[in-house]
Amino acid sequence: MLKKIKILFCFFITSIAFSQSVSSTIDSTQIKIGSQFNLTVKAKVNKTDKVVFPESPYFGALEVLESYPTDSIKTDDKLELIKKYGLTQFDSGRYVVPRLQIIINNKTVLTDSFGVVVNNVVVDTLKQQMYDIKPIIAVEEPADYFWLYMILAFLLIIGIGYALYHFLKKYQVKKNEEEALLFASPIEKAIALLQNLEKKELWQHGETKAYYSELTDITRNYIEEAVEVPAMESTSNELYEALKVAVKKKKIKLSNDVLDKFKKVMANADLVKFAKSKPLDFEIENDKKMVDLFLVSLDKAIPRSEEETENLFAEELKRKRARKQKLQRLGIPISVVLFLILMVGVFVVVSKGTDYVRDNFLGHNAKSLLNEDWVTSDYGDPAIIVSTPKVLKRMNDERIQNNLPSHVKSISKFTYGSVLDNFSIVLNTTAYKDSTSLDLDQALEQDLKILESYGAQNIVVKTDDYEDPKGLKGKRAYGTFTALNPLEKEDQQMGYEILVFAQASGAQELFLIYREDDKYAREIMDRVIESIELKKATP
């Protein structure tokens, strides 16, 4: 009996072991430095088992280039999980893929380990054929349609503003014709509005508050237009006191009894509007009659000539309305245009970045560039190494490249800014076909002529030999000149330095131009000069 139990126990343990198994393989045991080989791990488990594969940037001394997604194959009630890793090593030698831990249902299973040989890449620099460095070939810059899109967007925005202006103008003309607001006098306007108010039958339908609000507004508007008292912004008491002052000042023959009755109507209106009072029907009718009496009595009492009565108010009303409508026609389209331009500006900043905006729209001031991270690069052939606030831009001039002198192999030109900016840089390099001796004095004279071609006038020139603490030797010209600034319409005082260096098979010329009154631009120029290094020309 005990023997049978042992056999059944062994069978149970064996079935568990066979139900969960892990295997691993690699596809190569020898690779070149930096080449990838693949490690594949397979786990055969039940469908309900939980399996966790290792994730790490390194397996031992080997770097994991990529951990591929886990694949799976279903067979009956079993599941085969396949995990693949891309490994490499960037130093030669013998390495070991260590045993990896695979966790199945909180139990750890180890994979096999493998040996891998990483071989050096043999580079023969003696027997293989070598070629000269090819000259620089000018390549056309890819077309950039961004500015075209900006122009089209600007024209579209202007078109929207123009269309909106004409739409508002047409709408205002039509509204003026429909409303027919050109009354002969304020009293006629007030009487017409009161008649329209009665036709609405507001208080008869329970809208007493709306009725009193419109009734008092009509009265206040008349007082403002006829007596020139700020009635719309005043309280009832303030309006009453202002009317008493105006009656006395303008010698308006209006009885105190009429004024007092008008004050009582305004008080009733305040109670209805603010205290939710509900007057009786006859009280409402009496208030309406008192308003009519007040308006007619006041209008008759105002001293004015017959000509004023007929013409003055109508013309003034026309002018005020026309002025208001003109402001609307201009203000609304301009506001819309400015908003759309702002949105385009935000889009440019988000899509192109702040550097692009400053380079192409706002410009850099010398102080901000002095504090930014500078760029150190070599330019041209023979190369000159220089540090600048921004990368110098290569200028391709096909006319120069197609008409090179017979002894010149290539000419390269790099620039930043223009002659009227706070500072600008022009860098020329010339490579000769053979050992050519360059006269530095003649080169400086030629460079000064180039400076004149940039628009420089009244050039003050000083020349001397140049040598820096690093032993770099050449020739220098420096001084000042004036240039007409078209924006300020006056001469701008500029400073400059020209450095010329010569080698057996090449030459470098560096133009540094800055505004003389900008101390930060001067600091930029000094920093650029201190960074200069030369590379030997290739014969």
Per-residue pLDDT of 307-316, as tens digits, reads 555 555 555 6
Minimum mean pLDDT range among 174-183, 238-247, 479-488, 529-538: 174-183
Instruction: Tell me which residue has tokens 């079935």.
Output: 15
- Quote the tokens at residue 467: 């040598």
* Architecture in CATH of 19-119: Sandwich (2.60)
CA–CA distance, 29 with 115 (Å, rounded to integer): 7
pTM of the model: 0.40
Check whether 237 has a pLDDT greater than 70: yes
DSSP structural state of residue 143: P
- pLDDT at position 83 is 92
As beta bridge partners, residue 73 has 80
User: Cβ distance 476 to 448 under 8 Å?
Assistant: no
What pLDDT digit, counting tens, does each position of 414-437 carry? 888 776 677 788 888 888 877 766
CA–CA distance, 149 with 344 (Å, rounded to integer): 11
> What is the CATH superfamily name and number for domain 364-534?
Mog1/PsbP, alpha/beta/alpha sandwich (3.40.1000.10)
Other C-beta atoms lying within 10 Å of the C-beta of residue 26: 17
Where in the chain do CATH 3.40.1000.10 domains reside?
Answer: 364-534
CA–CA distance, 172 with 175 (Å, rounded to integer): 5
CA–CA distance, 118 with 95 (Å, rounded to integer): 8
Find the mean pLDDT for residues 252-277: 85
- Quote the tokens at residue 88: 């490499």
Q: Residues with Cβ < 8 Å from 199, sequence gap 6 or more?
A: none
Which alpha helices (H) appear in 353-397, and where do they start and end? 354-357, 366-371
State the pLDDT confidence band at 356, using cuts at 50, 70 and 90: low
Cis peptide before 303 (omega within 30 of 0): no
CA–CA distance, 207 with 98 (Å, rounded to integer): 91
Where in the chain do CATH 2.60.40 domains reside?
Answer: 19-119
State the pLDDT confidence band at 361, using cuts at 50, 70 and 90: low
State the pLDDT confidence band at 318, using cuts at 50, 70 and 90: low
- pLDDT at position 175 is 72
- What dihedral do alpha carbons 257, 263, 267, 272 form, nearest 10°? 90
- Quote the tokens at residue 194: 């009161």
User: Cβ distance 172 to 432 under 8 Å?
Assistant: no
**Furthest C-alpha separation in the chain:** 138
Report how many helices (DSSP H) and strands (DSSP E) the chain contains, helices first: 14, 22
- pLDDT at position 8 is 46
Other C-beta atoms lying within 10 Å of the C-beta of residue 436: 17
- pLDDT at position 126 is 62
- pLDDT at position 517 is 79
CA–CA distance, 205 with 401 (Å, rounded to integer): 92
Q: What angle do the packed helices 281-301 and 186-200 form, to 10 degrees?
A: 170
Q: Closest by alpha carbon to 111, among 54, 62, 58? A: 54
* Mean pLDDT (the chain, rounded): 80
CA–CA distance, 96 with 186 (Å, rounded to integer): 104
State the pLDDT confidence band at 170, using cuts at 50, 70 and 90: confident
State which of 258-267, 396-405, 410-419 shows the largest mean pLDDT: 258-267
